[in-house]
């Protein structure tokens, strides 16, 4: 079983930055693809970013490309999401996710393990 703990959310003004962290409970983390998803009130969960187990491949949604950066430190069992130039549309609960597959995917149903979520609120 892989347990994930999200942290780093908060309230920030538009144009500001936040860095989210997701700590995993097991060393097997280093072989898992990791992803970040978000969900705004009344909306479906949407893909934000994903990173392969090695960190060599990353993918982003068009809405965050160029502003967000996903990275991982396998020695610390942690994945990060650096969010810059935040916009009010980025508001939502952000979840990290882990999946035991080698090719990253944007499909949230493929990820077996999820963090509890961390709230990000961007004011205008």
Q: Note down pLDDT in tens along the chain; length 124 residues.
A: 779 999 999 999 999 999 999 999 876 778 899 999 999 989 999 999 999 999 899 999 999 999 999 999 999 999 999 999 999 999 999 999 999 988 899 999 999 999 999 999 999 9
**What whole-number distance in Å separates Cα of residue 3 and Cα of residue 16?**
30
Q: Write the pLDDT tens digit of every residue in 8-20.
A: 999 999 999 999 9
| Contact call for residues 48 and 95 (beta carbons, < 8 A) | no
pLDDT tens by residue, 25-42: 876 778 899 999 999 989
What is the distance, to the nearest Å, from the Cα of residue 120 to the centroid of all Cα atoms in its chain? Answer: 12
Burial 63-74 (b: 16+ CB within 10 A, else e): ebeeebbbebeb
């Amino acid at each position: 079983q892989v347990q994930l703990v999200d942290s780093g959310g908060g309230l920030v003004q538009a144009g500001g930055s936040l860095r989210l962290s997701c700590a995993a409970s097991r060393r097997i983390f280093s072989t898992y693809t990791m992803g970040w998803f978000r969900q705004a009130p009344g909306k479906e969960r949407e893909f934000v970013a994903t990173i392969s187990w090695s960190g060599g491949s990353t993918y982003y949604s068009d809405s965050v490309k160029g502003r967000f950066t996903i990275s991982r430190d396998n020695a610390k069992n942690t994945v990060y999401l650096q969010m810059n130039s935040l916009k009010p549309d980025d508001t939502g609960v952000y979840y990290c996710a882990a999946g035991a597959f080698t090719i990253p995917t944007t499909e949230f149903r493929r990820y077996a393990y999820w963090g509890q979520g961390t709230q990000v609120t961007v004011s205008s």
